[in-house]
Amino acid sequence: MVFSSISFLYYFLAVFLGLYFIVPKKFKNSILLVSSLLFYFYGEPSYILIMLLSIVSGYLHGLWIDYKRNTPSAKVALISSIVVSGGFLLFFKYTNFFIKNINQIFSFKIPSLEIVMPIGISFYTFQILSYVIDVYRGDAKVQKNILNFATYVALFPQLIAGPIVRYTTIENELESRTHSLEKAAYGVWRFVIGLSKKVIFANSLGEICKIISKSDESSVFYYWMAAVLFALQIYYDFSGYSDMAIGLGRIFGFHFLENFNYPFISKSITEFWRRWHMSLGTWFRDYVYIPMGGNRVSKLKWVRNILVVWFLTGFWHGAEWNFIVWGLYFALLLALEKLFIKKLLDKTPDIFKHLYVFFFITVSFVIFNANSMGEAIGNIKGMFGLQGVPLITTEALYYARSYFIFFIIALIGATPIPAIVMKKISSIKAGEYLINIGKPATVLMLLLVVTGYLIDGSFNPFLYFRF
């Protein structure tokens, strides 16, 4: 099940929101857990068992670590947990990738396994790993109530698409959280905005990208249009989903951390990765990069650390070589930026910094979106006029004209401009009044429009589902 679906909005959410607020406090986590398991079962009936096994493993390992604290057994428990959780992830997500590559290298004929990657496994595995590591480090208290722990892992707002919520973030709120009209209103607002970002913008951008990819009329302009629109699509898709998760979490009394912070206004690649998918970036920083020494090591080891983290980041996104190349692409850029480019960037006007980021990010998403490295290289060549195609065609011009206003609105929406404008308006009394009327009216209008889009459209994929 996805948030942006009729079954979720008008059946699942309606029922479970109601139940959640009706039941007494002591049953609220149970309602969350049951609804989360049903939510997962709806989308992945046959693999719910894997998630449950992962939850039980994380829970038991947490107890073991806590019981054997300050003994070598605690480390054994930690390693065991990493092996079990990581093992599930490796098996379901990467087995066929390894088989394919072993066959290619050694000319073996090992058959691929008929396994489907369980939805959300990359997210909930990382959550469980962060929990056991934090318990081991003493940063988090062990959760002795398996239902509470299961609720944390399976919590449907962030289960299948993040953000990767650290246990420490909601540790206290799991046991005791408050609900208020203010939180509910904020949650509703965030959820509806996220829903609109996903359904109105991401899905529409995806449709244009699909038109371009199916077209027989390639052109340099079309290659760039596809690249830029895909970058916007994935932003709206993922950040929209994060907004919905944060919004729903708030309605239930949880404070999830932000996952996106207007990444397209970045003035460097380093800054971009502090604004994009922040929960993943900080996860790798805290559990891989810093334990390896971070940047407090020799230059050579620092480069090694960067390569390992970004290899893993790319690989986490998908079991294909283009994702690994995508990760290493950023490793190279970030290393070069730290060593040389930053000094140069500091001396240039902001416009060039933005263009620099725009260029490299756009190219990175071309690699990310490709089905193979061959396709990625072909698309990049196309962007630079190396595919022998014309600069522009009738069809490209038509769609550029048709979607121009939509594109401008999407571009502005990806910047802090709307938030800044709202803040300025609300700083004056009349403006505050307008905002207070405007918000509920906007919620109503967006809900109805989104419903129209959902009913009319059959094109409603979530890009990060493959993770």
Q: Please give the Cα distance from 165 to 283 (Å, whole number).
A: 10
Nearer of residues 375 and 395 to another protein, judged by Cβ: 395
Intra-chain end-to-end CA distance of the chain, in Å = 15
Residues 78-97 that bind another protein (CB under 8 A): none
Nearer of residues 261 and 393 to another protein, judged by Cβ: 393
Q: Please give the Cα distance from 313 to 41 (Å, whole number).
A: 28
From candidates 86, 378, 431, 457, binder to another protein by CB under 8 A = 457
* b (16+ CB within 10 A) / e for 67-85: eeeeeeebeebbebbbebb
From candidates 26, 105, 182, 349, binder to another protein by CB under 8 A = 182
Which of 61, 255, 317, 354 is flagged as catalytic? 317
Size of the site for another protein (CB under 8 A): 55
State the DSSP string of 44-94: -GGGHHHHHHHHHHHHHHHHHHHHTTTSHHHHHHHHHHHHHHHHHHIIIII
Which part of the chain contacts another protein (CB under 8 A), choosing from 4-12, 124-132, 278-286, 416-424?
A: 4-12
43 touches another protein (CB under 8 A): yes
| CB 394 to another protein: min, Å | 7
417 touches another protein (CB under 8 A): no
409 touches another protein (CB under 8 A): yes
From candidates 5, 30, 168, 387, binder to another protein by CB under 8 A = 5
What single DSSP character describes residue 465?
G
From candidates 101, 145, 402, 415, binder to another protein by CB under 8 A = 402
291 touches another protein (CB under 8 A): no
For 379, the 3-state DSSP assignment is helix
Q: Please give the Cα distance from 57 to 63 (Å, whole number).
A: 10
For 393, the 3-state DSSP assignment is coil
| CB 231 to another protein: min, Å | 19
- Going from the C-alpha of 433 to that of each of 416, 427, 429, 438, 440, the distances in angstroms are 22, 10, 6, 8, 12
423 touches another protein (CB under 8 A): no
For 317, the 3-state DSSP assignment is helix
| CB 187 to another protein: min, Å | 9
Residue 354: active-site member: no
Applying CB under 8 A, the residues found at the interface with another protein are 1, 5-7, 9-11, 13-15, 17-18, 42-46, 181-182, 184-185, 188-189, 192, 200, 216-217, 394-395, 398, 401-406, 409, 433, 435-437, 439-440, 443-444, 447-449, 451-457
